[in-house]
Every structure is written in C-alpha cells, then in structure tokens.
Structure 1
Amino acid sequence: MADRIRVGRARALVSGLAMAAVLGTGAPAVAAVYTQVRLEGAQNVDADTALSLANIRRGADLSAGDLNDAQQRLQASGLFEAVEIVPQGKTLVIRVSEYPTINDISFEGNRKLKDDKLTQIVQSKTRRVFSPSQAEQDAQAIAAAYASSGRYAARVDPRVIRRANNRVDLVFEIREGDVTEIERIGFAGNKAFSDRRLRNVLATKQAGILRNLISRDTFAPERTQLDEKLLTDFYRSRGYADFRVQAVAPEVTRERDAFYVTYNIYEGPRFTFGRVNVVSEVPGIDAAPFLAQNRVKSGQVYSPQTVETTIQRMEALAIQQGVNFVNIEPRVTRNLRNQTLDLTFALVRGPRVFVERIDIEGNTTTLDEVIRRQFNTVEGDPFNPREIRNSAERIRALGYFSDAQVETREGSSPQKVIVDVNVEEQPTGSLGFGASYGASAGLGFNASLSETNFLGRGQGLNLGFSTASGSQSFNFDFTEPYFLGRDLRARLGLWYTTSDYDNAKFNTRSTGLSTGLQFPISRNGRLELRYRLAKDKLFDVDPIEIDPESAEWVGSSPILVGEQGERVSSALGYTYSYDTRIGGLNPLTAYKLNFSQDFAGLGGDVKSVTTSLLAGVESRAWREEVTLRAEFEAGGIEHLDDESTRITERFRGSGRIRGFESNGYGPRDLNAPNEDALGGNYFWAARAEAQFPLGLPEEYGISGGIFADAGSVWGLDNTAGYDRDANDRNDDGRETEHVDGKVDDGMKVRASVGLSLFWTTPVGPLRFNFSKAVKKEDYDRDQPFDLSISTKF
C-alpha cells in the first residue's frame, strides 16, 4: 500500500520518565553521567557512529538540554525516521527507526517528459537511504522542468510503497496538465507603434491556431529579458533614445492554464542629431582626420548603430596611425526643446592595458581556433573593450552555441587582462526529409543532410537529393569560411540534374562542379571569384516527321532538333554583391545589389560572356505595418564564336514573372506542333509588391500581399531550320524576329498582377500566389495559382 510522504520531523522522543529521572519532579535541572550507551533498532548504523552523530561522550555530564540537542542532531542526520532517547540508570538507550533503502524509482502519468530525462533530474537514487526531504525536492525539480516547457499547472506527488527488509519503492505521480500558454501580449504607454507592430518585435508569441506546434507561445520568464532587449533596440534604432521598459507584468489565470503579459513602456520623444563635433584631448593627435570618419549627419534620426559605426571607424583610424590606448567617448547633450542631440566625439587617453591571454572553455566539439579567429585581438595587443564586445557578438552569430559569454578579468598585473570565453555547444547538423508541391513541378520529395560546423572546424557541408514530376537532382556543397586562416570563404559544389519538361518535347541533363573564393572589399560589399565546369546535354527531342494520315507535322522545333547533343563549358567568373543588411544604418530600408559575369572559353565547347544584374530595395511604411519591396534584374549572353546559344544556356521565363508557367513565355516556335519554348539570349524583369497584415491575430503568422510584375525574354542568334531568303536579315546580319510567322523572338513585354497569402508555419514560410496575366501573347501559358516556399529579401 502506498503511503504519502510527510516531510518534517518524524517522531522524536525523549521519555518523560527519563526526564523525570534526570530532572526530578519539581527540582532544578541536574546533569547525569551515563557510563554505557545502548543503540536499539539500528540495522546499518553502529553505536559509535550514533554517538558521533549525537556528539555524546561516555562518562560526560548530560543534562536534559544536552539529551534534547543530541536527539535533534540524530534526527537531522537524515538516517533515522524516528529517534527516542531513554535514560535507564547509568545506561543511555538510543532507540531508532532507520529510513528504508530505495529499491526502485519510477514515474507515473508522464507523457511529455520521458523517464530517462526525469531520472537525470531527481537526486534520489536506488540502493541509497530514502530521504523524505530529498523526495520532496525531487518533486519540485520535476515540476520546475515541466514549468520550463510551459506546463505551470503540473503537479508531482512523491509516494512510497513499503517492501520487505526495510525497503521502499519511490513513485512520483505526475499530473502534467496542459501547456500554460500566453493568451495575450499587451502594451501600455505605446503611442508611436501599435500593439501589433510591437508584438512582431518580440521573440515570444501569443498562442494561435498552431499552439500545439509553436513553442514560443509558452511563458518563460528568462525569455522576457530577451524581449525587453529586442524592444529597446527596436525603439532606440528609430530615434527614441530615452525608451525603457518600466515593468513586465505577467498574470496567470486561476486555472493556471494561460498567461496575460503586459509590457509597461516609456517611449519618450524622438530625437534627431544636432551639431556633431570631434575634439582631441590627447596631446599630439589631430582631430581633423577623425572628423572625416564621422558618419553622423545633422538632422538624421538618432540611431545607436550610426554612433557605433563612427566610433569603430575612428578606433580603426587610431590603430592605422599606430596610436594605442585612445578611447572615443561619445558625449551627448540633449536639447529637449527641439528634440535634438548634440554629439561630441572626444579622443581621450585610456589606461595602458594589454591582453595577457584568451581562455576558451566549454567547447567539446568546436576547435579553439574557430572561436579564436572571431577575435581581431591576440595576446599582447592593447586591450580594446569595444573590440572584445564585437568579438563576442561574432561568436554568438556563428550559430554553433546556445550560449556564449565573453568576460574579462584582471591578469597577472593591473596592466593586463585575461579574456574568458565560455560557450555551450548546441547541435549544428540536421537531417531532413520532406515533400513539396508546385503547380508546374507537381508533387516532389526531397532529402537533405546539412552540417554548419563540420568536424568542429566551422565548415559547412550540404548534401541534397530531390525528385519531382519528371526531374531529379543531386547536389553537394562544401564551404570553408576561413580559408588559409583569413576572411576568405572558399566553396566547392557538385551537381547533377535531369529534367523532363511537361510543356516541352525535350529533356535536359546537367553535370558539373563549381568553386570560388569570396572576400570583403568594403563594409557592405563582397567579391567572389569562381570557376565553373559543366556538361549540359539536350536529348530526347522529338524528331521532325510528317504524319502520313493527317499529313501534318509532328515533332519538335527544327531549332531544338539542331541543338541536340552535349556541350562542355569551362568558365571563369566573378560576382560583386552589396548588401546593407550586413551593417546598414537605416533599420527601415535595406538595399542589395548583385552584378555577375562569367567568361566561358577556357577550354570546352562554349565561348561566351554571360552578364546578370539584380538590384532590390525593401522598406517599411505606415508605422512599419507595411513592407514594400521592389526588384529589377536583367541579363544577357553573347557568344564569341560562330556558334549559337542553346536552350540549355539561354534564359527562360522561369519564376521571374509570376502568373506564367515555367517556360511559359519568351521566344517560341509557332509552327511546331507543341509551340516549343526556345528561351532567349536576353531578359529583364521588374517586380514590386507590398506585404501587410490582414487583421488576423499575428500569432497565426498569416499576412497578405499584392504584387505587379513585368518583363520579357527575347533574342535568338538565329532561327535556323526554316527556309528563308536573304531579305530576312537585319543590317547587323542577325536573323529577323519573324520568319514567315514561324518564330517569335521579339522583345515583347509581359505583365501580371496578383494577390499573395503569406503563412509562417513550423515546416517553413509558405506563399500562395493568385495571379492574373494582364499582358501576354496568345501562345503564352499562364499559371493563375502557385504555392511555393517564401524567400526572404
């Protein structure tokens, strides 16, 4: 039969008769001497151990108070369930009832936390003495583990089942309860931004329709600190220099199944920069060169990042000039009347402190060098607190660690500091299996293996396989982010793809490898140099035939028939990328630019120059409730020999204009039975869209959008395969765009408009597009609906 454990002192008695014997009735307390001590009831504890625990010596004078203290000490030892001290003449009898030994520990009622996890939590162990207080502490620890996973209503009751030979089974009866969700997150004191906008800033989310899948809708007190920091960064980056979170008030319902969290905030005024100046308080250092590094403009909305960037540039200049131990102090003067901040960058002499060493702990898989290379400081360098903080941010940004703390302490002398790095590693690999659906590709399946910290060296490894209707692909990518110990990102990629197009009478196969080196050339700019070797094959092109019964032409375009076979291309190329998301100063607007060129002809069968450009901007408007995006891209390919391009090399209308099928627009053989899409040597596309809330609770992760796209794919080197006369050529010798109405490769604009539905789900961000082609050719193939994975700007 199970007995509920009662925590507290078990019965502990010093016999009343014994007290009378020692004290006498109505007489003052008199000490007694006991020459013998007898221990009764003990099985595992001997008399000498009991005397030692009771702190009693044979032959000592013992008063009633001494006996009471001895009994309390025995009881506090945790070995005895009951203790009774009975004086019998010159003999002191200590009667005890020992706690039983734990025979087995089990858990009942647990589903969310498995036995192996709970076993690691409890401190009670089998074959050890049972302790009621320890069992209660274990129950509290189990309840705390459930609370950390959002189950604050969990109840844990420890019970014992008596067994023979003074043994017990310890059973923890668990009632897990439901997840204690955050039912509502509210704000008090906000005027500049709506509750909806501020809730999007927080890492914690309200409970929604996916409450069984999303873990961020549970209340975690430690996450509140992160949310406070996110709110502070959000406001201060937008000019609210005095913003602060005054209080966070979580309230739990009576049933303990939901939380209501309210953030009481003070926004304060929005500041802009006023006068900006640089002064030098260090003899021999001229302030003028440092003023040239200033990136703070008068009238600009206050941003801590702008100030930080200027300080970093000034500190870098000081290092270039060989000036050490100079600090840049930003001194701010508030002008509340016009809500401006006058800013003075003061060059002051700092203490002469050097870095003695950098100690790294906690990394069991990641090599020390992976962490150490995030520091621009090495042992013996002048100590720069800002650089140490920046290094800590770079370590956290690696994504290899669940926690990374970088702290400093005094070294072997006051002029030296030791940098301590303590990290806690987390899994960096993933194995994925999934399915996908696209209106043009149909149902597909994929498998992938990804590791971002391969062998603890910070290397990236990706293996992927996918198959869809008529197509298969395999890819391998390896990245070394710190090649030769420098900020050089080296990569190697291998691929194999084969496609059977539903809307074309041909198949393609591509096999190849690419490798490259990428390195920074400015704060926001990077340059990649690469090499690409590929073998592309066009095959299974339907031959040109005349149906003897209908006397009609069946088969593919003569152009495609003439392009069959394999070609090997060997190309050197480069890409310049500029991205303000890396370190942009405007939190509301981001820009990106990619310009690429590939020069084929270093061996192989192809001699050409391929050029492409992509430019985009993203901005927030209307109190940051609406996100606006615009992109423009264009490209062209020019052959440098007498060969013409093939469809495997040309640009095709695949995804650049929403509302059209893959290969659904562009140059086309109008005479071929299937009106084969041929692709073009040139393309351009412009896309604009707006994403906005739909009024649904933001925890659902559903928002809407509208978009408008326009563009074109055009241009063929020739339209060989048809009879034509010499008049069908342009002045530059190229074939005309229209040859007997059979081939259309003109630059004809296509356009579409549509609505989008964005849904952030646990399996990924989904995007549903409902499109209408508003400008198209009769032979174009539109696609009113498309489901895809939503990509970030």
Structure 2
Amino acid sequence: MIKLFITIFLIFISAYSYAQKEFYIKEVILECSIPNGCERYKNRIYELKQQTLEISKIQEKTKNFLAEGLLNDLSLQIFEINENEAKIIIKMDPKRRVGKITIESNVQDINIQQIYKAFPYKMDDVFDAQTGIDAKKVLESYLLQKKIIVEKITITNSYYRDRIDFNIQLNIKKVIRVLDITINCQDSLIKKKITTSFHKFKKGIYDLSEIKIELEQIINDFKNNGYYNFQAAISEYFSESGDVKIVLSVEAGEIINFHLQGNYILDRREVLGFIKSFVRSNQGKFTFTELERMINEKYEEYGVYNTNVKTRNQTGVNKLGRKYTNYYLKINEGKKVPILTFTYYGNEKWSDQKLKKLYEKKATAMASRGYVDRNYLQQFSNIIKDGYLREGYVFAEVTDPKVVFADNYQSAGVEYIIREKQQVTLEKINLNNLDTDLALKIKETLINKAGTPVNLVELQTDLQTVLNKVRNEGYYFADIVNVDDPKLLQFDLSQTSAILNIDVKTGKKLIFHEVVVSGNITTKSEVILREVNLKKGDLINNEVIEKIKDYLLSTGLFSSIKISPVIQMRKEDSELYYTNLFIEIRERDFGALEVAPGYRTDIGVKLATSVTYNNLWGMNRALSLKLETNQRLDFDSFDDRRKQEEKRLFEYNAKLGYEEPYMFSLPIAFDGEVSQVRRRYYSFDADISRISTLFTKLFFSRKLSTSLRYKLEEIKPFDVTDLKDQDDYRIGSITPVVTLDFRDRNINPRKGSHLMLSCEYAHPAFLSQKTSELEINFMKMVSRNKFYYTIGEVTIAAFISMGFQQNLASDTDKIIASEGRARGFIPSREVFRLDGTDTVRGFDDTEINRLNDPQDLDIAEYVVGNKAFFANYKIEPRFVVAENIMVGTFFDAGRVYVNRFDPLKVRTAVGLSLKILTPVGTLDFDYGVKLKRESYSDGERDSFGRFHLSIGYF
C-alpha cells in the first residue's frame, strides 16, 4: 500500500513538473477538419511559434479557443523535439456557418419569402447541430398555422468549405385557395377601388393575416379622406373542397369636411390636425358642443383662453351621389391671459419671493412673459415639491394649481396650497461591508452629508455614486442589496432625523491575469494587446474596460467590440479573483475607395478620391493614395492683375501616405507622405513637391500628445505678379508640436478644451535654400486653442489663435536690385494669412488679409524681412434643434500684422451658423456680416458680408 502511494505520488510530481517545464516552440501545425474553417484562429495560433512557454500555459491558451463557442472540438498535441524545444499540433473541428438557403415547392405561388423568415437559420449564422433546433418541425408548425397541409418536408445539407447550405423541398398536399372575393358596397366607385386592391388575392393561397393588413390600409386611406364612419367586415365561407370565398361588407358612410374661418394664432394645419384626430377617435360621431369644447381646450393648451367657436353644418349629396356633411367653423380666438397674482398658502419655511424666483428660473417662454401656461403651472407643483424634498422636507405636499380667471378672461390669479411638514436631518450614513478608509472616501463624494437635511431627490444619484466608486476599486460585481428595502432610509420616532443604511455586497476584487482575443481574422493579436496596457495584477473595473474599448475603437479597425471579465482562478482564502479579459471583436472592411464631390467657398467646386487600406500585414499600418482637384468659380482672392485676366486653372493635390502606429514596436506613431501639389495664391501660382514625416507620442491617457514633423518642399512659382516671388526655392523645416486635449469627445464636444502649440523652424541645416541670392531661415510659432462650456442646452464654443514668425536669415540688408527684396526674407507663401482654420467669417480672403497701413497692402504684397503676426478670435453659442442639426450665432475677429503686434486692433464680424452633424465633424453653413466696412486707397470697399461653407473645425 505504501509502495502504491509512493508510486502515485511520484507520478503526480513528475506530471506536475512536466506541466511546469518551459519549451521553445519551434514549430506549430494547425489541422482543420474543414477547408478555410479555421481562418479566424490562424493568427493567434501561429503567434505561439518562437515563444518560450510552459506546457500548462500552452494548454490554457488553446482552451480559450473553446470558450468562444465556435468549435465543436479541439485537441492539443505537444511533441518534445529535444530537451528545450517542442512542436505542437492543434486539431480543430469548427462549427460551420450557414451559407445558401434554397426553398423549392410543388406549389408555385407559395410565399417563399415568408418561409425564409420562418426558417430557424439565417445566412451567416453559426450552425450548431447540438443545439437541438428541429428545422423541419418549425416549418411544419408555421405552414399548419397558415392552413397549408404538407405531405412531406425534405431538408438536405451540403457543404462548401466552412459553409453549410440548406436545400428545402416542400411537397404540399393541399392549400386553401380564395375562390372568389365579393365586395358588398352601395357606392360603385368605392366598390371598384376595393375590388382592384383585393384582386391580387383571388385564386391565390388563402392567408387571412395578409387580407386583414390590406383591409386595414384601405380603411385608414378612406378615413384620412373624410370617411370617418368607414367600416368593413370580413366573412369567410368554406366550400366542400376546403377552399374559401371571402365577402367584404363595406359601409362607407358620409363624407365629413371642415371649413375654418378666423384662426390666426394657430394655422390651418394645426387646427385641422386636432379636429380630424378628435373626429376619428369618436368614429365620426360628435355634437357641436363636444367639437367646440375640444377646440377651446386645445387653444388653452397653447395659452389662448376664452376662444369662442360657432358651428353650422350643411348636408347634401355630391355629383357622385355620395352624402356629405360640411362643417363651417367660425373661430373667435381668445387671448393670452396675464397672471396678476400668485397666492401661496402654508409656506412658512419658504418665502413668496423664493417661490417666485423658482417659478421664473424654470418657466417656459410663455410663463416667463407672465401669461397663463396651464401645463407649466401644473408642472410647477412638482417643481415646488422637488425643491422641498431637496431641503429635507420629505413629507411635503403641494396641491395642483387653482387658476381663477377674472371676468371675460382679462386676468387671472393662481393659488397653491403647500403643506411643508417637518424637516428631516440625515443623522448618519452607514456604508456597510466596506473598510473604513474606503467608506470615508466615498462619503466625501456624496450629495447627501451627515448632519444636513436629507436630499431625497438625489438619493438615487448617491446610491449610483457609491456603486460606481466601489466597482472602481476593483469590486467589479459589487451591488447594493437593500435598494428596495424600506429600512434603506430609517426614520426615528419623531420623523425628524434619519439614518441612511447602504448595504454593499462587494464580492472579491478582480485583478488582471491575461487577455483572450476572439474574432481577429486578419488583425494580429499584438495590435489588440498593445492597446490594453495592463500588467498582471492590475485592478479591473468599468473605467478600465471602457478606456480599453475606446482605445481599440480609435484604431478604426473594428466595427464592434465587446469586453467581458472572465474569472480564471478562484481561491477561497484570497480576496482576489484572477481574471481574463475576453475581448470579442468584429473587424471592419479594411480597404476603402471613396469619391467625394463637393464645394467650398474659398476653392470652388472640387472632386476628391482616395484608395486606402488600413491594416497592412494585420498590424494596423495604413497605405493611402489621395487625389483631389478643384476649380475656383471666382477670382476674389487674387490680386488686381490676376482678377482682370480671369485665368482659369485646375488645382490639384496628389498624395501618397503611409502610417505606422507603433514605430519599432514603441508607442510612437509615424506618418509619412509624398505629394505633388498645384495651388493658386494671391499673386502667383505654384507647383509644390513635398516630402514629410511625422512622429507622434501620446502621454497621460492620451490627453497630452507631442509630435515632431520634418518637411522638405520645393516650390516652383509661375504666373507671378511681384518679382520677389518669381524664383524657385526650397524649404526644409522641423516642427515640434504639443497638444493637450481635455474635450469630452472629438466630434461636437460640449465641454473641455483643446490646446495646441507648434513652432516651425526652417534652416539651411534642414536643407532650406541658401545661395548668394536667397537664404531661407525663419521661425514660425502658432498657438490654436479651443474651449467648450455648456449651460443647459446651449454650448458656448470659443477659439483663440495667435502666431508669431521671424526672419532669421543672416543677411537681411543686402538688396537684390532686380527684385526689390533683401537676400534673406520670408517667402510670401510662408507668411501668415487668415484662411482655413483661422478664417474670419464675413470676410473674403483679400479683405481680411490687408495690413493696417496707409497703402492698405495685402500682406502677400509686403516683403517680410523681420517679423509678422496674426490674431484670430471666435465665440459661438450653439444649440441642438434636431437630432443631427445645430444652429448658432457667432462673433469673429482677427487681423494680420507686420513688425508690430496689436492683438486688440482687429476686424470684426457677426453672423449665423447652421451645422449638420456628420461622423467626421460638422458641415457648416455660415453667413457673416462685417461690423465695420472699410474703404481703401485703391478705391475698393468692403462687401456687406459673406457666405462660408466648410467642414467644422471647432
């Protein structure tokens, strides 16, 4: 017995030691039971190759595949090649997906589409033969319900790669057919119309539900056209053969029409709308008194009282022989009634003045102007009670308003009766089952505090706060178990104090063990794992999971992401659960072809197309080719010569780009592009060849980002007005950028800020041009800052941007006589202009970019040999008027400067903005009006205003 025990013990120790032994996985073989059925697992399986893992770890990783529920079976074989190397073979039997579903029947006119809907499997469903769904019985039950007698249903399966196709043969013994449809209706034209609608059912397979749907549509059509008494009934008569004859008995009733006179406050559509609704709900039966009372009540809902309605009717028969009744309504509209007095009874703790302020704070537009708004007055009862509950008057009562009208509705008085009762103080808050430090930390965040009046309105908010705080400590499955318990808030005998007892069931903390990924067919697991950014032993909570989900969505690779914590190891003597994060994803289509015609007020009509692939080698690398061309419709942004010539020229931008989100496996994004551009400027056109690279690093949960851009451009001007712009030149520069993003969301933010500071440095050391005739050496610093603040339904957006640039060339005094410029200067293309992001709405390009000097020069005509500046300010209150539509007003200001900066001396404009929300931003329709129009030395004068169409930038 002892020998057996020792033997078993040694075998156990040996097996355990073997399981803990590490192997370098030299070879991985995947054997799949069906062709192409294991594609979704290939990446993850072959990622095991060249890893050094314990056998237990290999087993654990392969078991995770079964947890996804898409495999019938899985087996793992490990072959030891030598002492430290192994080969593994993974055999998979995947579940198939449903492919084609073909339905054939010996009855040609059976509704195949309805049978498709009844069939329990749909295309692309995972087919699991073990679920026990009997597709044959499902179809038999459906057909029996439709009174179709089936002799035999044959379902055959065929397989193609990882798909299972279904072929369904229906051998139908008997169907009930509609022998005839008889319409009993005295009106021949109505009878003819209904007969035409029901003709499609004649000789067809009988389906009572379809007939009822058709009949309901006909009844609605007639009632909408004034036949409010229209009625129809279906009778079925079955023959000996089992077929059926349908009889529709129709009573059209009279036509009822309404003619209005005297309605000015409410338009005809509104009044007819509620009249027709009233008549339909009463089946066309009503008295004059009922109709007049209803109209008066509806007017009162709009705040118009003492409306008088006089009704007369006229009956007759029209040319078609149909009876009609015309109702002639003469509406003597009342008026809005001012409230002269508010009387409150029983309010000892609250003054009348406090109640008045509360009324005005919440008032509707009509109520705020002092008129009776019955709906708001009723609502104000609840507002008063809500206020008392917030201050601890738990048992307070407020009656409905009593509105007393003076004679002829000249004025009104409103009365409320308030029963305040006693105030309840919160004596103590007990957070049961939490340690003292955590309980104290949570109590500090609650709205309700010990020693203050109970705020019953915010109690639910406090309970949710407790739950969120506890869960964020890692108790992911924590719950409050006494939410519905009457003793949650326990009152003393006098009901003047209370104790809040919150019983928290924490469970155990979840700590991170590893990530299990499912659904990544093309994307490598590495791409997903690097976005998780968790170490073994880190706490798991909702905040962590939501952050991971946001990071994964930001890659743009996935259409859906589901993250679930799955407990991996349970130890009864531990306060922790080691937990796997099960990440289930669905990949997008990574390739995209886009064609985008459009129009912009600055560059005219445009056409853009792009070809992009966003997941090269499964590593979230992107390659894109973008082509864009545009044709300007006017010449307003050009100098006088070019305006007069009206020379048209297609502009274009061809760009090839490559993006690498993790350069050298480090969290540094790389973006490189090569482009060829033709662009029109104020006094010249230019062909530009450009190479640029950008490196970006994110910090602190991606709120802070830093980037460094290198750019090399060769500019070849043509059609030049000023000699200073005629030479070809080259600019090489680096631009460090720091960005802080505190917005609540990137698209249509409602709060927060976005701060950006950049400094471009162009120098011969970076391959900028330096010759005997031209030296390019300058610094350009720009700060653009956006701020968002929401008050109620209104979001106030503000934008402040400023720029400073300085010529750093060593020789700024030597003048090139032939061109009238110094050897070292800032090329006009690089000088600040207020356009694009820095546009001042209401101005065109040539108006806002004039200098404030006696010559009124455009800044592009000035040779900047020293310094230049710009300032731009915008403020825009905006609010949502529909699901994807916002409107707003704006104030814009800005100016460009040379040598001297005066940020308060700016041009200004105001205007209106209409914004349509899109997935990439807002489509803005703006019209701005200048606050001061100026006349210039060349005889020109500012326009009144300007329309702008653009994709929103703040």
In 2, the alpha carbon distance for the partners of 1:588 and 1:77 equals 53
What is the letter of the counterpart of residue 509 of structure 1? D
In 2, the alpha carbon distance for the partners of 1:468 and 1:102 equals 59
Match of 1:613 among 783, 792, 800: 783
1:786 aligns with 2:943: no
Match of 1:532 among 697, 710, 725: 710
Paired residue secondary structure (1:373): helix
CA shift in 2, pair 1:380/1:100, >3 Å: closer
1:687 aligns with 2:874: yes
What is the letter of the counterpart of residue 779 of structure 2? V
What is the letter of the counterpart of residue 434 of structure 1? A
In 2, the alpha carbon distance for the partners of 1:101 and 1:506 equals 78
Do 1:682 and 1:713's aligned partners in 2 also have CA atoms closer than 8 Å?
yes
Match of 1:475 among 651, 655, 658: 655
Do 2:750 and 2:795's aligned partners in 1 also have CA atoms closer than 8 Å?
no
CA shift in 2, pair 1:297/1:644, >3 Å: farther
In 1, the alpha carbon distance for the partners of 2:757 and 2:151 equals 81
1:571 aligns with 2:733: yes
Do 1:612 and 1:635's aligned partners in 2 also have CA atoms closer than 8 Å?
yes
1:653 aligns with 2:653: no
Match of 2:897 among 714, 720, 725: 714
CA shift in 2, pair 1:704/1:468, >3 Å: same
What is the letter of the counterpart of residue 587 of structure 2? E
Paired residue secondary structure (1:427): coil
Match of 1:366 in 2: 523
Match of 1:596 in 2: 758
CA deviation after TM superposition for structure 1 residue 489, in Å: 2.5
Match of 1:387 among 523, 544, 547: 544
In 1, the alpha carbon distance for the partners of 2:467 and 2:669 equals 24
Aligned pairs, number: 515
What is the letter of the counterpart of residue 167 of structure 2? K
In 2, the alpha carbon distance for the partners of 1:685 and 1:343 equals 56
Match of 1:246 in 2: none
In 2, the alpha carbon distance for the partners of 1:714 and 1:653 equals 11
CA shift in 2, pair 1:435/1:687, >3 Å: same
Do 1:357 and 1:417's aligned partners in 2 also have CA atoms closer than 8 Å?
yes
Paired residue secondary structure (2:830): coil
Match of 1:633 in 2: 801
Structure with a larger share of its residues in helix: 2
Match of 2:692 among 500, 514, 528: 514
Match of 2:673 among 486, 489, 493: 493
Q: Report Cα offsets for 1:445-500 as digits up to 9, x if no partner.
A: 11123444444322344432211123211233333333344433322233332223
The residue correspondences of 1:31-46 to structure 2 (distance < 5 A) are none
In 2, the alpha carbon distance for the partners of 1:350 and 1:390 equals 23
Match of 1:422 in 2: 584
In 2, the alpha carbon distance for the partners of 1:482 and 1:522 equals 17
CA deviation after TM superposition for structure 1 residue 649, in Å: 1.0
Report which stretch shifted further, 610-619 or 755-764.
755-764
In 2, the alpha carbon distance for the partners of 1:310 and 1:478 equals 42
Report which stretch shifted further, 303-312 or 441-450.
303-312
CA deviation after TM superposition for structure 1 residue 306, in Å: 12
Match of 1:115 in 2: none
TM-score normalised over the length of structure 2: 0.43
Do 2:795 and 2:877's aligned partners in 1 also have CA atoms closer than 8 Å?
yes
Report which stretch shifted further, 364-373 or 658-667.
658-667
In 1, the alpha carbon distance for the partners of 2:530 and 2:627 equals 33
CA deviation after TM superposition for structure 1 residue 102, in Å: 9.8
Match of 1:771 among 928, 931, 934: 928
The residue correspondences of 1:395-410 to structure 2 (distance < 5 A) are 395-410=552-567
Q: Report Cα offsets for 1:25-60 as digits up to 9, x if no partner.
A: xxxxxxxxxxxxxxxxxxxxxxxxxxxxxxxxxxxx
What is the letter of the counterpart of residue 782 of structure 2? S
1:443 aligns with 2:605: yes
Paired residue secondary structure (1:364): coil
CA shift in 2, pair 1:281/1:590, >3 Å: same
Give the % identical residues: 20
Do 2:711 and 2:734's aligned partners in 1 also have CA atoms closer than 8 Å?
no
Uncovered stretches (5+) of structure 2, i.e. residues with no partner: 1-105, 113-135, 145-149, 157-161, 175-199, 206-212, 218-381, 392-425, 450-456, 572-576, 632-648, 770-775, 812-823
CA deviation after TM superposition for structure 1 residue 535, in Å: 2.1
In 1, the alpha carbon distance for the partners of 2:531 and 2:501 equals 31
CA deviation after TM superposition for structure 1 residue 772, in Å: 2.1
CA shift in 2, pair 1:682/1:427, >3 Å: same
CA shift in 2, pair 1:278/1:612, >3 Å: farther
Uncovered stretches (5+) of structure 1, i.e. residues with no partner: 8-73, 83-96, 104-119, 134-155, 162-173, 179-265, 316-323, 543-555, 717-733, 738-744
CA shift in 2, pair 1:516/1:131, >3 Å: farther
Paired residue secondary structure (2:548): helix
CA deviation after TM superposition for structure 1 residue 673, in Å: 12
CA deviation after TM superposition for structure 1 residue 434, in Å: 1.9
Paired residue secondary structure (1:648): helix
In 1, the alpha carbon distance for the partners of 2:698 and 2:687 equals 35
Do 2:783 and 2:803's aligned partners in 1 also have CA atoms closer than 8 Å?
yes
Match of 1:644 in 2: 825
Do 1:766 and 1:790's aligned partners in 2 also have CA atoms closer than 8 Å?
yes
Paired residue secondary structure (1:395): helix
Do 2:689 and 2:713's aligned partners in 1 also have CA atoms closer than 8 Å?
yes
Do 1:505 and 1:540's aligned partners in 2 also have CA atoms closer than 8 Å?
no
CA deviation after TM superposition for structure 1 residue 771, in Å: 2.3
Do 1:512 and 1:532's aligned partners in 2 also have CA atoms closer than 8 Å?
no
Paired residue secondary structure (2:849): coil
Do 1:275 and 1:341's aligned partners in 2 also have CA atoms closer than 8 Å?
yes
In 1, the alpha carbon distance for the partners of 2:749 and 2:924 equals 25
What is the letter of the counterpart of residue 125 of structure 1? N
CA deviation after TM superposition for structure 1 residue 98, in Å: 6.6
RMSD in angstroms over aligned alpha carbons? 6.2
What is the letter of the counterpart of residue 890 of structure 2? F
Do 1:652 and 1:663's aligned partners in 2 also have CA atoms closer than 8 Å?
no
Q: Report Cα offsets for 1:172-191 as digits up to 9, x if no partner.
A: xx99x99xxxxxxxxxxxxx
Report which stretch shifted further, 684-693 or 635-644.
684-693
TM-score normalised over the length of structure 1: 0.51
CA shift in 2, pair 1:350/1:534, >3 Å: same
1:377 aligns with 2:377: no
CA shift in 2, pair 1:530/1:6, >3 Å: closer
CA shift in 2, pair 1:385/1:438, >3 Å: closer
Paired residue secondary structure (2:732): strand
The residue correspondences of 1:552-567 to structure 2 (distance < 5 A) are 556=721, 560-567=722-729
CA shift in 2, pair 1:341/1:420, >3 Å: farther
The residue correspondences of 1:310-389 to structure 2 (distance < 5 A) are 351=508, 355-378=512-535, 387-388=544-545
CA deviation after TM superposition for structure 1 residue 383, in Å: 5.9
CA deviation after TM superposition for structure 1 residue 433, in Å: 1.0
CA deviation after TM superposition for structure 1 residue 578, in Å: 1.5
Do 1:488 and 1:517's aligned partners in 2 also have CA atoms closer than 8 Å?
yes
The residue correspondences of 1:248-327 to structure 2 (distance < 5 A) are none
CA deviation after TM superposition for structure 1 residue 393, in Å: 4.6
Paired residue secondary structure (1:664): helix
